[in-house]
Amino acid sequence: MYIELVKYPDVFLRFVSKNVSFPLDDKTTRLIRFMTKAMYQHHGIGLAAIQVGYQLRMFVMDCTRSQESPQVFINPVIVKNSEQSLTDFEGCLSAPGKRGEVKRYLRITLKYQDKEGEEHTKTFYNLEARCIQHEMDHLEGKLCIDYEKGNYSRDRHKSQTMVESDFRTKSDT
């Protein structure tokens, strides 16, 4: 089954996601499996719920590329970050063929919940830290292509028409 992603410039990607409540219902549990499948199918290292049409504060990640270590982060909050940051190019499954030059912290500490609702606080470095910051942006309706020379520029795509795709109607059928 081919999983279609919500793509730029769909206005849905600009929505701020909402907190997930616990215990997870069956629909949300299935959604996490669906997100993991979508991430692997599209050869991504991270994917947020908004990218498959759900306005929920959660994302999946697997930076190993072995497709064996998917992690899920629910209601994540960055609680600490390094002084040092690095500017590098990033791509996004929701903006194929485009790149953004984004400044990210080299190290971040993330507080999040797992599928059982258990709270964790963990520190991530380098690629994982960059990926998490990219996914955290999705939860706020931001995209890596909004950045210019490292810095976020809200106006960068202002002139671009935001269209509403028929994604949601399709996904309901």
The residue among 92, 77, 105, 106 whose CA lies nearest residue 39 is: 92
- When asked if residue 139 is in the footprint of Zn ion (CB under 5 A), the reply is no
What's the angle, vertex CA 26, arms to CA 23 and CA 70, rounded to 5? 85
Residue 113 neighbours by CB under 8 Å, 6+ apart: 20, 22, 73, 74, 75, 119, 120
- When asked if residue 35 is in the footprint of Zn ion (CB under 5 A), the reply is no
The backbone region for 144, taken as left when phi is positive above 0, alpha when psi lies in -120 to 50, beta otherwise, is alpha
9-17, 26-34, 92-100, 150-158 -> range binding Zn ion (CB under 5 A): 92-100
How many residues bind to Zn ion according to rule CB under 5 A? Answer: 1
- When asked if residue 131 is in the footprint of Zn ion (CB under 5 A), the reply is no
Which one of residues 50, 58, 74, 92 is an interface residue with Zn ion (CB under 5 A)? Answer: 92
Q: Smallest distance from the beta carbon of 35 to Zn ion, in angstroms?
A: 12
CB of 24 or CB of 61, closer to Zn ion? 61
Judge whether 135 counts as a catalytic residue: yes
The catalytic residues are 135
Binding site residues, Zn ion, CB under 5 A: 92
